[in-house]
Amino acid sequence: HIGDRLVLKAIVNNAFKHSMEVGVCAEAYQGGEPLRHINSAFMTFEVLTSDRKPCTLPRIRPEPVDGKRRYQEAIARRKIRLDRKYILSCKQTEAPLSVPWDPSNQMYLSYNNVSALKLMDTRTNWVLTSEKNKVRLYTLEENHMLCIKVEMHVSVPAEQAFYLLSDLRRRKEWDRHYEECEVINQADEDDTLYRIVTPSVSKGGKGKDFILLASRRKPCDSRDSYLIALRSVTLPTHPPTEDYTRGEVLCAGFTICEEFCAVTKLTYYNQATPGVLPYISTDIAGLSSSFYSIFSACSKFLEANTDGICAQPPSSF
C-alpha cells in the first residue's frame, strides 16, 4: 500500500561449491501497526572472483532445528533445479532412453538391467532428505541427474517380499501411481515385459504409459540381496499412442535383504528421468508426503499377503 514501510529479512540457507541459496522475507507496516507478511522467495547467488571466475565457498554449519530444516530443504530445491535444467535442455531429436527389445538381445538387456541396479546400490554418498514413519527418503545428484532411494524395514521374510513385488500387476494394490498393468511378454521366469499406465500429475493432462522390462534375480549366497530391476524398452507392437504420453525409466527397482529372522530391509531406487520426476519432485522438496504413504501401504500389503507365496513356482507370477 502507499505509505507502507518495507522490511526485508534475508538469511543464508545453504552454501554449495560455487553458489549459495538465500531466503528472503518481505514484510510491511504503517505507523505502529504490526508487520504484515508480503512475500517470500528463495534466491541463488553465484560468487565470482575479481576476474569473474567461480569462487569456492566454505561450507556452513546449520543451526539446530529451523536452521537444519532450511539447510536440508535448500539441498532438495537445488536438486530439483538441476533436474529441471536437464529436462529443459533435452531436445526432441535426442535419442530415447529406451532400448529396443528383441529375444535375440534378451540376455544382454537383462544383464545390463540388473547391473545398473547393483551399481546404484553400491553408491555411498546418499543424502538423507527426510524420514517419516520409519520410511527414509534419500537423494543423490550424479552427472546432473537426480537419483532417489527409499528405505524401510518390513516384518516379512525376504523371499516372500521378493515374490510379491516381482509381480508388477499387484503393485496397483499399494501404489496409486499404477493405474493399469498388463503382461506383454513372459520371456522366461526371470524376465517379463509389462505395460504400465500411470495417472496425470496435472488436472486435465494426459496420463503416461511405460513399457518396462522387469528382471529379477535370487541371491547366489546368503550375503546377496534379492533384486528386481526395471528399465524401459521399445516394442514395435506397442508404439506410443495419442491417448498417453510415453514415459521412460532408465534405472529403477528393489533390493531385498533379510537382516534378521523375518525382518527384511527393503530398498527402492529410481533414477529420475523427465518422465518420472513430476511424480517425486514435491516429495523431495518436502512439499508432499505421498511417498511415505505409498511405501507404508507397501509394507501393509506385504504383511497381509504372505500365505503360500513362497510355495509358488517363479513362473506363476
133 and 22, same domain (yes or no):
no
299 and 224, same domain (yes or no):
yes
What 3-state DSSP class applies to 216?
strand
User: Is 283 part of a structural domain of the chain?
Assistant: yes
> Domain range for residue 32?
1-60
User: Is 223 part of a structural domain of the chain?
Assistant: yes
Mean pLDDT in the chain?
83
User: Is 219 part of a structural domain of the chain?
Assistant: yes
46 and 91, same domain (yes or no):
no
56 and 139, same domain (yes or no):
no
Sign of CA dihedral 294, 298, 304, 305: positive
Higher pLDDT, 105 or 43: 43
Which of 8-12, 68-72, 145-149 is modeled with the greatest confidence?
Answer: 8-12
- Indicate the pTM of the whole model: 0.69
pLDDT at 54: 86
- Domain count of the chain? 2
157 and 10, same domain (yes or no):
no
Q: Over the stretch 19-47, which tens digit does the pLDDT of each residue have?
A: 899 999 999 998 888 888 888 888 999 88
pLDDT at 253: 95
Q: What is the mean pLDDT of residues 59-67?
A: 85
52 and 90, same domain (yes or no):
no
CA atoms within 13 A on the CB side of 105: 11
What 3-state DSSP class applies to 183?
strand
Q: Over the stretch 157-175, which tens digit does the pLDDT of each residue have?
A: 999 999 999 999 999 999 9
pLDDT at 313: 37
Residue 144's contacts (CB-CB under 8 Å, 6 or more residues apart) are: 82, 83, 85, 86
51 and 93, same domain (yes or no):
no
pLDDT at residue 88 is higher than 60: no
What 3-state DSSP class applies to 90?
coil
Domain containing residue 33: CATH number? 3.10.129.10
Residue 161 exposed, middle or buried by CB count within 10 Å (0-12, 13-18, 19+): buried
User: Is 221 part of a structural domain of the chain?
Assistant: yes
- DSSP tag of 48: B
Q: Which of 251, 224, 229, 253 is nearest to 158 (CA)?
A: 224
pLDDT at 222: 77
User: Is 183 part of a structural domain of the chain?
Assistant: no
44 and 90, same domain (yes or no):
no
Domain containing residue 164: CATH number? 3.30.530.20
Higher pLDDT, 131 or 185: 185
User: Is 178 part of a structural domain of the chain?
Assistant: no
pLDDT at 278: 59
- Crossing angle of helices 66-89 and 277-284, rounded to 10°: 160
pLDDT at 28: 92
29 and 124, same domain (yes or no):
no
pLDDT at 194: 97
Q: Over the stretch 264-295, which tens digit does the pLDDT of each residue have?
A: 999 999 987 665 655 565 555 554 567 788 99
